């Protein structure tokens, strides 16, 4: 289960809490409870004690983060129920919250030792799943590399194939010729770090001092990153990024194998952290002084079987066929779009030609003194022509008035008789 953003902040605060110096060697009180219950009580008691050392403002912030996380989970639950069309059902948030493993559903308001325990447990599970996913990813990488090698050789003629196979075998042999790799976590490996990295006298090697030197953040434990940093010298013996025969993906897988080996032998409580007490106890074991010889990836059996490779190749072929079908579908869609584009271009040219012909027709009619015509041949009259027609209608009336005026005598008649 992936932790929410609030709880990632919360976890970082908790790690700061752990940096507070406390008495980790205090003997637990004797009880008559079963062993598992006794261990759980000890854990809860220890966590409660550590939380008691936290300042009030930090506890207040932890309580606030928990309430925010509960609110976020309720929203997720509501969205999930809404998507399944169960809005009409009444939700029991307390019961539904039990499916989330990183908080105590019985207390939704304050952050307590139980929450810290569940948070650590869930984070540990997530990290374990992450390691498993890394191993699976590396296996698929190796199968893909072998598949590509075989396909490459198939494409060569016999002479070139034999020559290339010899070259590949020479590179493998060159990669195998490296200095001895010390077993991770052994006294020889740690003394080498003490001498070459820390620059100290190997005869004065002190496990407690070594632990404090490499607890780089000073939190009292060696985490996974601090442990992996201890293997840098051993990995440099086998892998060089400048060499063609050295695969850096294999180097990261080797680093993971080394860290898991140390955790398996040293991390007694399996919290993915190495305390000083666990580290010092591991130096008393026989494996610390006389460990088994460490086998690198080249010395171990392949990470995949031939059957797994065949299934992987079948999966690749299925994916390639699916990609081929999708590519063909996209090609057909592209051809269809091209045809539509051509049709649109032809229509555009037709429209342009029609506009050009109409313009030429109008110009020709204007030169010949004919009234212009529309796109369907109908006559079109300009306002100037309409004005001329209006003037032509008024001309006869004005002419008659003028003629009547012209027929009038020039002077009025003289000596007209006067009637009484």
Q: List, for residues 230-242, the tens digit of each pLDDT value.
A: 999 999 999 999 9
Q: What is the pLDDT of residue 61?
A: 75
pLDDT category at 48 given cuts 50, 70, 90 is: low
- The label of the residue with tokens 């990295």 reads 197
Q: What is the pLDDT of residue 104?
A: 59
CA distances from 205 to 182, 230, 259, 280 (A): 16, 15, 21, 13
Q: What is the pLDDT of residue 35?
A: 46
Q: Is the model more confident about 200 or about 51?
A: 200
Distance CA 202, CA 182 (A): 15
The mean per-residue pLDDT over the stretch 1-5 comes to 51
Q: What is the pLDDT of residue 143?
A: 95
List CB contacts of 201: < 8 A, sequence separation 6 or more.
195
Most confident of 39-48, 105-114, 174-183: 174-183
The reported pTM is: 0.58
Q: What is the pLDDT of residue 263?
A: 93
Q: What is the pLDDT of residue 262?
A: 95
Q: What is the pLDDT of residue 420?
A: 44
Neighbours of 238 (CB within 10 A): 18
The mean per-residue pLDDT over the stretch 172-181 comes to 93
Distance CA 296, CA 174 (A): 14
Q: What is the pLDDT of residue 144?
A: 95
Q: 126-137, pLDDT tens digit by residue?
A: 666 788 889 999
Query: How does the average pLDDT of the chain come out, rounded?
Result: 77
Q: 206-216, pLDDT tens digit by residue?
A: 999 999 999 99
């Amino acid at each position: 289960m992936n932790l929410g953003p609030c709880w990632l902040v919360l976890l970082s605060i908790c790690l700061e809490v752990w940096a507070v110096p406390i008495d980790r060697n205090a003997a637990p009180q004797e009880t008559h409870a079963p062993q598992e219950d006794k261990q759980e009580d000890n854990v809860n008691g220890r966590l409660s004690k550590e939380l008691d050392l936290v300042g009030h403002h930090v506890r207040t912030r932890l309580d606030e983060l928990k309430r925010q996380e509960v609110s976020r989970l309720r929203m997720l639950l509501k969205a999930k129920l809404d998507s399944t069309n169960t809005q009409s059902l009444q939700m029991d948030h307390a019961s539904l919250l039990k499916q989330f493993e990183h908080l105590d559903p019985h207390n939704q308001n304050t952050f307590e030792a139980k929450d810290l325990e569940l948070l650590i447990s869930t984070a540990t599970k997530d990290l374990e799943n992450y390691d498993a996913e890394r191993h699976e990813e590396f296996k698929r990488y190796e199968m893909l590399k072998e598949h590509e090698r075989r396909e490459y050789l198939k494409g060569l003629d016999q002479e070139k194939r034999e020559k290339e196979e010899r070259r590949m075998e020479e590179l493998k042999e060159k990669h195998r010729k490296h200095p001895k790799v010390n077993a991770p976590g052994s006294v020889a490996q740690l003394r080498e770090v003490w001498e070459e990295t820390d620059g100290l006298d190997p005869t004065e090697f002190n496990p407690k001092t070594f632990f404090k030197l490499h607890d780089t953040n000073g939190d009292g434990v060696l985490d996974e990153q601090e442990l992996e940093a201890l293997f840098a010298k051993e990995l440099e013996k086998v892998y060089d990024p400048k060499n063609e025969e050295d695969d850096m993906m294999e180097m990261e897988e080797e680093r993971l194998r080394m860290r898991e080996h140390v955790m398996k032998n040293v991390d007694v409580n399996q919290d993915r952290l190495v305390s000083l007490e666990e580290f010092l106890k591991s130096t008393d074991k026989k494996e610390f002084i006389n460990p088994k010889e460490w086998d690198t990836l080249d010395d171990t059996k392949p990470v995949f079987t031939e059957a797994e490779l065949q299934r992987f190749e079948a999966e690749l072929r299925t994916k390639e066929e699916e990609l081929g079908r999708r590519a063909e579908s996209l090609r057909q869609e592209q051809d269809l779009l091209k045809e539509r584009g051509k049709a649109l271009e032809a229509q555009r040219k037709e429209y342009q030609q029609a506009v050009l012909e109409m313009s030429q027709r109008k110009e020709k009619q204007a030169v010949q003194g004919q009234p212009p015509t529309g796109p369907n041949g109908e006559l079109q009259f300009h306002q100037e022509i309409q004005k001329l027609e209006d003037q032509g209608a008024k001309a006869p009336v004005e002419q008659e008035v003028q003629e009547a005026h012209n027929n009038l005598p020039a002077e009025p008649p003289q000596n007209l008789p006067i009637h009484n």
